[in-house]
Structure 1
């Protein structure tokens, strides 16, 4: 097993088939603890499903994968305990009616009740409260979110946050649990070029701190380990079984029957419902 912080992630010929065909296939890559991994591809190419599979939330159909030395899907529950989700549509979204402070307070409460050790639960209430506050402050600093700079500070509603601020809040909430793996969906969605650079700078900082980062995007930065989920990204014919080697991996949908290829977000959602969360 690895050291306590940072989870290595490996996949070999990984594939997932939904009710309408292959969501993704032939994913092969290896990421060291503390790596920044960019899952790149067009919308509907299976990016989110791959992210959920690698974090123990969905079952794959073929291939082998390990996260943090834990085999999936057999040890999916253990993987979920060390892997935290940032923003993922339909899975871990922010509540627009909640304020920033309410989100942070709720997450700290849940972490203290369900994520703490028995020994820490036996500490005096004041000590537990101080520890929770320190954990939240540390997560906010790591996410680069200055609550005092928000329009209404902690009373700012999520619906009033800018896209980049919401991303920072989601990352901070995930980091409260001190995960070994952070997974973020739609990293560069609706961001300007300047905001995109800030988002990747945030994720680089998290990875530099030792936490492995998996980030779904439409365009990966040059310094990330890139895993592509669209057939056009690879230098091989779609449907072939031999995956590429090196830092960049590709996942090619099966194309022996064009009518079964997953091409839309709705079809990906169908695959999510079919395979289920484990």
Structure 2
């Protein structure tokens, strides 16, 4: 952040958005979804949020993309502070598949999904000048965006059972993942977020999925991916029981760095929590927040805080309150 004004960005900066979290935490009515999340990822980083189901992985993903409001600590995405500028963060980020938030419609065909997303992109994010273009020119622009996104997602329309007329319900798991990513890429986001990246994938398909996400990160888009097991070359954020979170740098040299890690890539120590009450924002989708209990000792860990319910309950409550993004 280096003393620059919060939110300051220049055209010379990379396309991807840097992500910084410091003592970031979210609490639902029955407990913490996650807390004490601290890390730094450079633009174009591949960040893997790993951990068991119910450990707050999805809530962290949604909070970092401006879809859930936090009350503890702070974070920045592309220089935009959270939770104060959630709406602005949503404009530079996009969700791939997130169950209950941005799911594919099984009755739609691939072509229908792509056309609908391109239409929405043009309607809500396009300039006035673009809206005044001739219909043929608008259609050509939309088609070009679709083709660009499909190529980037590695979705081979000709290889599908009925081409682009294939229904979502007839797609293999990996192809559905590619479609959800293509839809997100139509908006040319600076940060792409994908939930359940490796769910129900074979070893070969899992390798293909991570290869795809690496290629997107290499092209400049920052990628956040929830998974059960992160690859070694990703910046790994591990959600644990008791709402504790650790961060570990990639095993191989990469664009991501981790705040609080040593040069050998050892696990970062959790940052101290803050009595964060947050700042009022303009987001519509929020999660209930709460003020953490006062620490009784400077070295107290999240696991020792017995005033809150389980992580799984907190994550479920917080996610249930997001609504549709």
- TM score, norm. by length of structure 1: 0.90
Could you tell me whether the CA contact under 8 Å between 2:114 and 2:146 is conserved in 1? Answer: yes
2:261 to 245, 270, 274: 245
Where in structure 2 are the equivalents of 1:127-276 lying within 5 Å?
127-231=137-241, 234=246, 244-245=260-261, 254-257=303-306, 260-263=309-312, 267-274=314-321
The one-character-per-residue Cα deviations of 1:49-91 (angstroms, maximum 9, x if unpaired) are: 0000000000112001000110011110000000000000100
Note if 1:81 corresponds to 2:91: yes
Residue 35 of structure 2 is matched in structure 1 by: 25
Structure 2 CA distance for aligned equivalents of residues 233 and 31 of structure 1: 16
User: Deviations for 1:65-122, whole angstroms, at most 9, x for unmatched residues?
Assistant: 0001100111100000000000001000000111101100100111111111122222
1:50-65 maps to which residues of 2 (within 5 A)?
A: 50-65=60-75
Gaps of 5+ in 2: 1-8, 248-258, 271-300
- Give the aligned partner of residue 100 of structure 1: 110
- What is the CA–CA distance in structure 1 between the aligned matches of 2:27 and 2:14, rounded to whole Å? 33
Long gaps (5+) in structure 1 = 236-242
Rg bigger for which structure?
A: 2
SS in 2 for 1:106: helix
Aligned-residue Cα RMSD (Å) equals 2.2
Indicate the larger mover: 206-215 or 116-125: 116-125
Q: Using structure 2 for the length normalisation, give the TM-score.
A: 0.78
Asked if 2 retains the 8 angstrom alpha-carbon contact of 1:228 and 1:249, the reply is no
Greater fraction helix = 1
Figure out how many residues of one structure are paired with residues of the other and give that number.
269
Residue 239 of structure 1: aligned partner: none
Deviation string, structure 1 residues 16-66 (Cα, Å, up to 9, x no partner): 111111111110000000100001111100000000000000011200100
Stretches (4+) displaced over 3 A: 231-235, 246-255, 273-278
SS of the residue corresponding to residue 11 of structure 1 reads strand
